[in-house]
Structure 1
Amino acid sequence: MDTSSTPTPQSADAAEQPSRQGRNMALSIAFSSLFAPAITAAGVPEAELPSVNVRSEREGSYKVDRSASDKFTAPLLDTPKTITVINQELIEERGATSLVEVLRTTPGITLGAGEGGTPIGDRPFIRGYDASTDLMVDGMRDLGRVSHEAFNIEQIEIVKGPGSAYTGRGSTGGSINLVSKAPKKENFYAGSAMLGTDQTRRLTGDANWLLGDQAALRLNLMKHEANVAGRDGPTVSRWGVAPSLTFGLHGKTQATLSYYALRTDDIPDQGIPFDTVNNTGLPAQVDRRNFYGLTGRDYRRTGADLATVDVSHQMEGGGKLRNVTRYSKSSNEYVVSRPTMQNAPKLPGYGMVTRRGVGRALENTTLLNQTELTGKLHTGGIEHSYAAGLEFSREITYNKGFSISNTAPIADLYRPDPGQPFIGTIVKDALAVRTKHNTRAAYVFDTMRLTPKWELNGGLRYDAYDVSTSSGRRGSWDFVNYQAGIVFKPLPNASIYASYGTSSNPSGEAEGQIGGADGVAGGGLRQPPTPPESNRSVEVGTKWNVLDDRLMLTAAVFRTEKVNGRAIEPTTGLVELIGNSRVDGIEVGAAGNLTPAWTVFGGYTYLRPVLRADGAGGNSGKQLKYVAPNSFSAWTTYKLTSQLTVGGGGNYMSERFVDDSNARKLPSYWRYDAMVSYKVSKHLDFRLNLLNLSNATIYDASHVGIYATIAPGRSALLTANFKY
């Protein structure tokens, strides 16, 4: 599903941006006292900008015309690939404050859970395949397994289908790119103050100062505290800061220096155990508020720091040369209770819940550099829009476990006491397993306009990838991936396309130690790491801009296949590339305006995910775990008056199996949300979000059918938005 909205930061008109910022963000009273003196002290007069006629029907739109990434060398309408773009306005209107909250209401995406070996953090599944290591920030890989915040996000781009040509290793089902806010050519200071149920308190600030004619400084701040609706025990606490400084705003050479920091300190939640006593295949039927963790033992603390230097030069003839360097460091440390029903009748506590402690301490450091040349040229009567680049990266992960004496008291299934004392010990391992990734890559993309009605779109990437661990394990491979598509334009506002894409999953692409198995039981250190898995996808679709270019409609049918997945060979017990899985699907979507006052966003995805071969696993023919065959989402707002806007929507997800044998599953659910906003003046508006109106019990994810994590229950959030 392709979606669109206001232009990306790189192409936004200077006069249109104040209007959009006024709709989306404003300054809270707390940050007003901080930013106002700073602007006065800078002594910079308000910029006089030329007037521009803005089409009123595009105000409040969710329609985005181009990706923020220059690797997509055509407008989204003419890109032969499904790309869902969720802009800042939609994020805020739905009351989302984190990436998980956005993805929870996006069709075609399900969520997975972590524990000890699989780190706790954002773990989306796109079109049936894990994308936890396919998260990008401004087009560069973000390896750290953390929970991403929304306070510094301009838009979220979800690229569907195998895409190693765009991202490098991984991207079996797709990738997610978080586009950061950047300095603007205007003075403003804005922000919000939120109060809600479950002791929710949130402040954000967003200020931009012009520093003379050629420089601008932008600063985003956030502080968030809350309990979790419908749960007794888990808490959320985080803060973030993101300054960015741009030089050369009106020149041919532009440089942006940016820094992003996020810190979290939560009591994590592993949800409710599966009922293994009655073997229902479902989570235990208990009060949703039951929390089986220990508030005196469990914790999760994460940190993320990203420092980026982005330099670009507009060359004579229209080409642009850009170089981006980023150093990032992230950490994720936690101890969490794994709730498991005691199902041995002869043991004490039969039917009770054990609270085995599991923990992990991860630290990731990354140094990346991308150099990219983009532009247009003509050869033999064919118009080319191209992007070509080089990428170099070094990623190092340090992975430590915990030795936890599991003497935690057993919990009553129906009346757990999270305040019970933990009298055991927690000792972090002295040595860490170090995993080092080195990547050298070259890529090229081209959109060739053959005639006004026919276009060819292609991309090719070569990766030289090396991974090694402190235990002496090492793998080194070269792989090539590509993207190819043909586009027919029956009308200027429409496209019909067919495309083919590939991706590669090398051993050790995620955190932790590589072995022959690399995530599959068996093999281990008895064999060398296996070569990369190969994935491929074919997609046929159509995209239409209708209603005077206000609304984009999309539809696609596709097949994604992992042709040589890792699986245990039955006779040797070693891991070989003999597995196979396939996901067939249909996806439709809509984004934009039905009228100047009426906006819509949504879609439906059908997936048929099949594990076709898994060696000795014995589950061939089963449905892939964690994947919902049917998912639907719709959101709409209507401006009743110039001051009053109402909105609402719902999303549906069908049953998902959570183990390879399909013996355990999460039930289907419907969720409904509503919103009303009132504009008091051009400087102040209020928004009320009512989330999960029916207070449905929604199971977000599971870790191989041991327990099921739970989404928040009914909640209400009142936000005051200020803008000056």
Structure 2
Amino acid sequence: MTAKRINWAKFCKLVSGVVMKRCWLFVSVRLWFLVSLSGCLSTVAIEPGWAEIKSTVGKQEVQSQENIKLLTRKIQQLSEVERPSTSARMLVQSPVPNNPPSQRSSVVPITGVKANPTPQGVEVILETPVVTQLQVTNRSTGNNFIVDVSGGQLRLPSGDAFTFRSEKPTAGITEITVININENTVRVTVVGVAAIPTVELFDDDAGLVFGITSAAIATSPTQQPQQQQPVSETPTQTPSAQGDEPIELVVTGDLDGYRVPDSSVGTRTNTPLRDIPQSIQVIPQQVIKDQQATRLTDVLKNVSGVVVGSRSPRDPLNIYSIRGFNAFSDTLLNGVQDRSIGSVGFGSNIERVEVLKGPASVLFGQGGLGGKVNLVTKQPLRDPFYSMETSVGSYNTYSGAIDLSGPLNDSKTVLYRLNASVGSNESFIDFYNQQEYLIAPTVSWQISDRTKLTLEASYSDAEGPYDFGIPAQGSVLPNPNGKIPRNRFLSEPDLNNASNGAFRIGYNFEHRFSENWQARSVFQTSLFRLRRNIVAPFGLQDDLRTIDRGVEDFDYDENAYNLDNYVVAKLTTGSIKHELVAGFNLNKTDTNAEALFNRTTPLNVFNPVYGTATQATLPDFALKNTIQQLGFYLQDQIILAENLKVILGGRFDIANQKYEDLLNQTTDFNQAEAFSPRVGIVYQPIKPISLYASYSRSFSQGLYTLGAAPPEPERRTQYEIGVKADLTQRLAATLAFYDLTRTNLPISDPNDPRLTILVGEQRSRGIEFDISGEILPGWNIIAGYAYTDAVITEDDDLLVGNQLNNVPRHALNLWTTYEIQSGSLKGLGFGVGAFYYGDRQADLGNTVELPSYVRTDAAIYYKRDNYRAAINIRNLFDTDYFVSAQNVNRIIPGDPLTIQGTITWQF
């Protein structure tokens, strides 16, 4: 069979012309943009004057126990430093209050900040022209190494005079920032990827050098591991420099890891996961890269309680369930609701995937009982970065991607990032070929050290047939005529075409009034369209060899607009600390759908003859639906004590829906109001252990159904308790127990089957365990187990007690890699994974059960300098299995053994 090659002309046209092609969008959304943005800018304009922030960097010297003086020494070059192994945490002293203004020496300007690469990582230099003494206070927290340095002020010669930022300067470091935070303090922050770097303080002829070293390097065979001590908010004194010599900070970051300790998806604030009373799992870029995952469902297999839903994983539709409930339309993009991501959205521009389990209406509005999936996109980098990747695999699979980033001006206040990819693949399914395209530009503007604006857009398209699988009789059930081949195509080769495309554009405006007050305005619009002309199989006839089919010509358009404005404030009432999030959310979704449908020729599934199907001609439906929602929310993260934290939150929503049946000329309108609360508590008996409990509710406005009265919102309730443990600095685990209930579900009215009544109820109870991180240097793991008991508790009497379809009671995922850390084979890595799913029901009637299976994956890769080559093997032992079911006539087989080779070049 000849492979359908990538349409390069189309791809180039998308790259060069998509913005022009969609420029009309800016006219339709300009009012949204101007109203929200002007509100934020006006707030900035009336802020009390910050005409010139004065902040200092300097050096003081350690005395006796409180203030032991060191002789002032000239700071040498980094290469001349001889480094004794003295831990900075062993030298810190008790806090020394800042000198009153009358006792302060004159402010010393810091005229330059440099971040130069070194063999160990990156060298950060603060350039000072005169002699002074500086006091350094350690304020490290989470995975952030933070020091406040008093006595100087940033006065950089170009760009923003009050801030320096370097993003991803070396592996394992997300960002280095040097900023003025008040009139006499400069803050230096180094953000580690997986954990706070090990910090050593070197005292020698060079003065004081901060050595920030990765755990992997600190525990290499030539070095002994350092005993980690708690980081306290205490100052150290640094010797002053003579003349124009700079202060030098040596930064070597953690290697990219499998553990992400912080996330904003659960609270809209950058909060350690152990402080959030809810199960949240993050799949970082390193896992995605090691597994070469190209679809959202491929990524989500690494999270307990998440399974493929009722569609084929080979289709563009990423249908999946979380804790037993469909989460297809509960997807977020950078924290903003975007229903179209489930249809087409995952691509080379995704940095990581976050899974927030349980209801999340307080922050994100309606939907999401089982949970929400948040896709975080790659952001512009301050320093030039260029990456090219190409892949070749089984079944004529080809793909290529580029990732470009860097500054657009000399001061590096305007940055860009461009991701683009193209791919084509066939399948073991006959006549199957799919093409995918993506282009995603992003521009950020650091207006000042306190204000930032990011503009982001993307266009993605997936074209190819639908995979309808094969009937249960002949696959998981016996058929007297024999077994239906797994590769059988029950549609038509020339009459099964679909195109899923999405264009997204939006902005993210952030302004920090002070260290304790921040405002954010986010707007995003998504234009999704689906065009399909397909022949779909129905049920087998009585002979169990002939399948009935229908032909459909379907057009669907969905335009979604989402505006979210909120503030974050840190307050103190006595000894109690608060972090408030307050805001409002406005969104609107317009959908139009129409279809032609009629029966067409059947097909012999054992001896198919194609080419007899006809086109669809009969009008089936024409619908127009408009949903609007306005929500106001408030959340308070309360620190009652260092080991006792509480989250209280609530949201009030007004949602309405206008439904128009254009064929029957009928219109219906309903409006609902809902309050969604959230309560959670975290108790930490010791710092690495968090015991938590939470209660939350969410709602979803019911779609239009026939009935005597407009439907009430569907209500969703969750109770959850659990424990989170930081087993080491680089390895963390979560154990959760939950109880979920859906109520107000529409079911058939027993007195009139044409109508519906809202008495349906479903319940899911379960246990989940997740672990991720680094066990030993170079040895990473991400694994999980889920027990899910999801059943119908109120419905038609025939269904009560039935299990929800496509939800296994037991599921286990394990993926682990090891990379050689030294020697001639350094950079060589291996990976292996096993994924087990228990028996599942193919339909709500529980008439067909899909058998359990174990699938094994493997990988081998080699990294050297800027190159990476990898081979990934999926279904290593070529196991026959069925991954999901749409119904008893559409059972979806899993992929056989496939091999994919990938080469990546970064420069």
TM-score range normalised by the length of the shorter chain:
0.7 to 0.9
Matched, 1:486 2:681: yes
The percentage of aligned residue pairs carrying the same residue is: 24
Secondary structure of the equivalent of 1:543? strand
- 2:868 aligned to which of 676, 682, 685: 685
* Deviation, structure 1 residue 305: 0.5
What is the letter of the counterpart of residue 53 of structure 1? I
| Counterpart residue number, 2:883 | 700
CA separation of 1:449/1:705 partners in 2, compared to 1, >3 Å: closer, same or farther? same
Secondary structure of the equivalent of 1:258? strand
1:544-583 correspondence to structure 2 within 5 Å: 544-547=725-728, 549-573=729-753, 574-583=755-764
* Deviation, structure 1 residue 278: 10
Instruction: Choose 160-169 or 127-136, whichever is displaced more.
Output: 160-169
- 1:541 aligned to which of 702, 722, 726: 722
Q: Deviations over 1:324-377 (max 9, x none)?
A: 1112101112233333453324xxxx5223333345321110111111111311
Secondary structure of the equivalent of 1:442? strand
CA separation of 1:13/1:286 partners in 2, compared to 1, >3 Å: closer, same or farther? farther
Q: Is contact 1:688–1:717 with CA below 8 Å preserved after alignment?
A: yes
1:437-516 correspondence to structure 2 within 5 Å: 437-471=627-661, 472-508=667-703, 514-515=704-705
* Deviation, structure 1 residue 220: 0.3
Q: Is contact 1:565–1:577 with CA below 8 Å preserved after alignment?
A: yes
Q: Deviations over 1:451-502 (max 9, x none)?
A: 1121111221111101111231111011011221111011122200011111
- 2:337 aligned to which of 120, 141, 161: 141
- Give, in whole Å, the separation in 1 of the partners of 2:301 and 2:644: 37
What is the letter of the counterpart of residue 674 of structure 1? A
- Give, in whole Å, the separation in 1 of the partners of 2:636 and 2:291: 36
| Counterpart residue number, 1:626 | 806
| Counterpart residue number, 2:611 | 421
Secondary structure of the equivalent of 2:488? coil
Secondary structure of the equivalent of 1:92? helix
Q: Which runs of 5+ in 2 are unaligned?
A: 1-141, 145-163, 175-208, 217-253, 662-666
- 1:361 aligned to which of 555, 559, 573: 555
CA separation of 1:224/1:709 partners in 2, compared to 1, >3 Å: closer, same or farther? same
1:139-218 correspondence to structure 2 within 5 Å: 139-144=335-340, 146-212=343-409, 213=411, 214-218=413-417
What is the letter of the counterpart of residue 712 of structure 1? D
* Deviation, structure 1 residue 624: 1.6
Q: Deviations over 1:60-81 (max 9, x none)?
A: 3111122143734431111110
| Counterpart residue number, 2:418 | 219
CA separation of 1:665/1:52 partners in 2, compared to 1, >3 Å: closer, same or farther? farther
What is the letter of the counterpart of residue 498 of structure 1? A
What is the letter of the counterpart of residue 414 of structure 1? F
Secondary structure of the equivalent of 1:248? strand
* Deviation, structure 1 residue 281: 10
- Give, in whole Å, the separation in 1 of the partners of 2:582 and 2:275: 19
CA separation of 1:416/1:670 partners in 2, compared to 1, >3 Å: closer, same or farther? farther
CA separation of 1:672/1:13 partners in 2, compared to 1, >3 Å: closer, same or farther? farther
- Give, in whole Å, the separation in 2 of the partners of 1:283 and 1:435: 46
| Counterpart residue number, 2:242 | none
Q: Is contact 1:281–1:665 with CA below 8 Å preserved after alignment?
A: no
Matched, 1:92 2:289: yes
Q: Is contact 1:560–1:584 with CA below 8 Å preserved after alignment?
A: yes
Q: Deviations over 1:371-428 (max 9, x none)?
A: 1111311113211122211111111011111234513xx43323435xx214512348
- Give, in whole Å, the separation in 1 of the partners of 2:577 and 2:302: 39
* Deviation, structure 1 residue 596: 1.6
- Give, in whole Å, the separation in 1 of the partners of 2:854 and 2:481: 18
- Give, in whole Å, the separation in 1 of the partners of 2:838 and 2:317: 23
The structure number with the bigger radius of gyration is: 2
- Give, in whole Å, the separation in 2 of the partners of 1:61 and 1:308: 30
Q: Deviations over 1:277-317 (max 9, x none)?
A: 99659998432222222111101101000001111111124
What is the letter of the counterpart of residue 560 of structure 2? T
- Give, in whole Å, the separation in 2 of the partners of 1:168 and 1:274: 39
| Counterpart residue number, 1:29 | none
| Counterpart residue number, 1:370 | 564
What is the letter of the counterpart of residue 412 of structure 1? N
- Give, in whole Å, the separation in 1 of the partners of 2:560 and 2:263: 25
For normalisation by structure 1, the TM-score amounts to 0.86
- Give, in whole Å, the separation in 1 of the partners of 2:740 and 2:403: 41
Q: Which runs of 5+ in 1 are unaligned?
A: 23-49, 509-513, 516-523
Matched, 1:723 2:906: yes
CA separation of 1:284/1:188 partners in 2, compared to 1, >3 Å: closer, same or farther? farther
Instruction: Choose 316-325 or 441-450, whichever is displaced more.
Output: 316-325
Q: Is contact 2:302–2:782 with CA below 8 Å preserved after alignment?
A: no
- Give, in whole Å, the separation in 1 of the partners of 2:335 and 2:283: 16
* Deviation, structure 1 residue 617: 5.0
Secondary structure of the equivalent of 1:703? strand
- Give, in whole Å, the separation in 2 of the partners of 1:499 and 1:125: 21
* Deviation, structure 1 residue 685: 1.4
Instruction: Choose 644-653 or 134-143, whichever is displaced more.
Output: 134-143
CA separation of 1:562/1:72 partners in 2, compared to 1, >3 Å: closer, same or farther? same
Matched, 1:635 2:827: no
Q: Is contact 1:370–1:389 with CA below 8 Å preserved after alignment?
A: yes
CA separation of 1:532/1:342 partners in 2, compared to 1, >3 Å: closer, same or farther? same
Secondary structure of the equivalent of 2:600? coil
| Counterpart residue number, 2:262 | 66
What is the letter of the counterpart of residue 293 of structure 2? A
- 2:526 aligned to which of 317, 328, 338: 328
1:265-276 correspondence to structure 2 within 5 Å: 265-275=463-473
For normalisation by structure 2, the TM-score amounts to 0.69
- Give, in whole Å, the separation in 2 of the partners of 1:596 and 1:278: 44
- Give, in whole Å, the separation in 1 of the partners of 2:569 and 2:878: 51
| Counterpart residue number, 2:514 | 316
Query: Aligned residues, how many?
Result: 660
Kindly report the root-mean-square deviation, in angstroms, between the aligned alpha carbons of the 2 structures: 2.7
Q: Is contact 2:363–2:651 with CA below 8 Å preserved after alignment?
A: yes
Q: Deviations over 1:26-70 (max 9, x none)?
A: xxxxxxxxxxxxxxxxxxxxxxxx998352444131111221437
- Give, in whole Å, the separation in 2 of the partners of 1:284 and 1:69: 50
Secondary structure of the equivalent of 1:291? coil
Secondary structure of the equivalent of 2:531? strand
What is the letter of the counterpart of residue 125 of structure 1? S
CA separation of 1:162/1:217 partners in 2, compared to 1, >3 Å: closer, same or farther? same
- Give, in whole Å, the separation in 2 of the partners of 1:364 and 1:636: 40
CA separation of 1:6/1:216 partners in 2, compared to 1, >3 Å: closer, same or farther? farther
Q: Is contact 2:502–2:526 with CA below 8 Å preserved after alignment?
A: yes
Matched, 1:527 2:708: yes
* Deviation, structure 1 residue 236: 1.5
Instruction: Choose 591-600 or 331-340, whichever is displaced more.
Output: 331-340
Higher relative contact order (CA 8 A, sep 6+): 1
Q: Deviations over 1:181-201 (max 9, x none)?
A: 111222110121111111111
- Give, in whole Å, the separation in 1 of the partners of 2:857 and 2:677: 40
CA separation of 1:156/1:52 partners in 2, compared to 1, >3 Å: closer, same or farther? farther
Secondary structure of the equivalent of 2:339? coil
| Counterpart residue number, 1:658 | 842
CA separation of 1:439/1:428 partners in 2, compared to 1, >3 Å: closer, same or farther? farther
What is the letter of the counterpart of residue 497 of structure 1? Y
* Deviation, structure 1 residue 20: 5.4
- Give, in whole Å, the separation in 1 of the partners of 2:480 and 2:788: 22
- Give, in whole Å, the separation in 2 of the partners of 1:283 and 1:208: 59
- Give, in whole Å, the separation in 2 of the partners of 1:6 and 1:292: 53
- 1:435 aligned to which of 611, 621, 625: 625
Q: Deviations over 1:236-268 (max 9, x none)?
A: 201100000000176211001111110111122
CA separation of 1:466/1:341 partners in 2, compared to 1, >3 Å: closer, same or farther? closer
What is the letter of the counterpart of residue 817 of structure 2? T
CA separation of 1:282/1:599 partners in 2, compared to 1, >3 Å: closer, same or farther? farther
